[in-house]
């Protein structure tokens, strides 16, 4: 089983390394876009999927990260200063957004985070002296790594992919440490968790802060990919879309964001042939998915397993009854 998983992982990695090299520029761009959303949605998956906090403001952190890098680079600072500032800034602001979660939960927390997203968006749109307002900021540069120019899309894709892999490894380590269990305990039953000595306030705040930091890094990478940013990609609508990506992929499944982001980023492109019908198809697909698979696509194997266990148990019962009857 574990060997199978390792093999599947290696094959996927090989595909991610090789396939874009044979794609046209726009295909590479899309893969990069996908990898950036994987990073952001890994963070959201921690907040929403593992720690169980409803956050509908994740795009705000993507935006804060993007604007931090853009503004600092336009001011002449290096990308390598901008990105840590973006991550750290989002961590601190994420910590702040965690505080409402200590008072309210579920849909009410969702509304609070949604309000926060609107506030951030207003700053991006109205504080033109800093953010360029609705015109945004253009001419954002690409970083260089060890003198290597990332101006072309393919090298930049590998650069983003490296970030995604490192951040995925860090998250994987975190979730396997006692912290991972504490987050899950917080999600499943906060009252019991607290009675077992789990500092639910600290873990709630940290789940927001770490999730936000991931979005901050993703935002920084996004600014440098597109080389132009404006407030539109960071609206409440974008936050809802990111939440949807996590839910569709499978919240609380480590690989959920990979699949969810692919559906959220790449599917719209593949459905282009449907033109005006695209949103119609997409909307219906989401409704059906939520009806049949509320735990996301990656819950399918678990469902099959549960069904098989139930069938085996039923077979065992009827066998026992038959024996008793005989």
Partner 1 sequence: MSEALLKVSGLRKAYGAIQAVDGVSFEVMPGEIFGVIGPNGSGKTTMFNSVLGQITPDGGTIELNGRDITNLSPLQLNRRGVGRTFQTLQVFGKMSVRDNLLVAAQEHRGSMFGRMFAPGDSGLGDAADRLIEQFRIGHVAHKKAGELSYGQQKLVDIAMAFMSEPELVLLDEPCAGVNPSLVGGISSLLKALNRAEASQRKRSSFIVIEHNMDFVMDLCHRILVMVEGKVMAIGTPAEIRANRQVLEAYLGN
Which positions touch partner 1 (CB under 8 A)?
174, 176-182, 184-185, 188-189, 191-200, 202, 252, 309
Q: 138: which strand partners?
A: 228
Quick one: which H or E segment has residue 194?
A: helix 190-195
Q: What is the DSSP letter of 234?
A: G
Main-chain dihedrals φ then ψ at residue 137, nearest 5 degrees: -125, 125
Cβ closest to partner 1, residue 39 vs residue 185: 185
Distance in Å, CB of 45 to partner 1, minimum: 15
Q: How many CB atoms lie within 10 A of CB 114?
A: 17
Quick one: which H or E segment has residue 277?
A: none
DSSP 47-71: IIIIS------HHHHHHHHHHHHHH
Distance in Å, CB of 176 to partner 1, minimum: 5
Distance in Å, CB of 201 to partner 1, minimum: 8
Distance in Å, CB of 116 to partner 1, minimum: 26
Cβ closest to partner 1, residue 60 vs residue 185: 185
Distance in Å, CB of 325 to partner 1, minimum: 24
d(CA 252, CA 298): 10
Cβ closest to partner 1, residue 149 vs residue 199: 199
Cβ closest to partner 1, residue 105 vs residue 201: 201
Distance in Å, CB of 244 to partner 1, minimum: 22
Cβ closest to partner 1, residue 159 vs residue 183: 183
Cβ closest to partner 1, residue 191 vs residue 291: 191
Q: Positive or negative CA dihedral for 188, 192, 198, 203?
A: positive
- For residue 271, what are its two tokens? 């459905």
Strands 228-229 and 137-138: antiparallel
């Amino acid at each position: 089983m574990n060997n199978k998983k390792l093999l599947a992982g290696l094959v996927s990695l090989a595909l991610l390394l090789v396939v874009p090299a044979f794609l046209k520029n726009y295909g590479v761009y899309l893969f990069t876009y996908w990898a950036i959303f994987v990073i952001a949605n890994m963070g959201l998956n921690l907040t929403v999927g593992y720690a169980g906090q409803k956050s509908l403001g994740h795009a705000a952190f993507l935006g804060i990260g993007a604007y931090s890098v853009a503004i600092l680079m336009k001011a002449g600072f290096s990308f390598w200063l901008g990105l840590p500032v973006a991550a750290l800034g989002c961590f601190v602001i994420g910590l702040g957004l965690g505080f409402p979660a200590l008072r309210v939960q579920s849909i009410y927390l969702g509304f609070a985070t949604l309000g926060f997203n609107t506030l951030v968006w207003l700053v991006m749109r109205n504080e033109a002296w800093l953010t360029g307002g609705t015109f945004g900021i253009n001419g954002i540069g690409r970083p260089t790594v060890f003198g290597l120019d990332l101006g072309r899309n393919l090298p930049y894709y590998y650069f983003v992919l490296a970030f995604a892999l490192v951040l995925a490894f860090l998250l994987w380590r975190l979730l396997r440490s006692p912290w991972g269990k504490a987050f899950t305990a917080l999600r499943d039953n906060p009252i019991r968790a607290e009675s077992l000595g789990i500092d639910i306030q600290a873990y709630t705040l940290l789940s927001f802060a770490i999730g936000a930091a991931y979005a901050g890094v993703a935002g920084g990478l996004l600014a440098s990919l597109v080389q132009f940013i404006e407030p539109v990609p960071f609206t409440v609508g974008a936050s809802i879309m990111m939440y949807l990506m996590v839910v569709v992929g499978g919240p609380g499944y480590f690989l959920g964001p990979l699949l969810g982001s692919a559906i959220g980023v790449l599917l719209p492109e593949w459905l282009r042939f449907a033109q005006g019908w695209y949103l119609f198809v997409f909307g219906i697909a989401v409704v059906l998915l939520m009806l049949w698979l509320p735990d996301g696509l990656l819950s399918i194997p678990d469902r099959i397993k549960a069904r098989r266990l139930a069938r085996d148990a039923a077979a065992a019962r009827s066998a026992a009854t038959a024996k008793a009857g005989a």
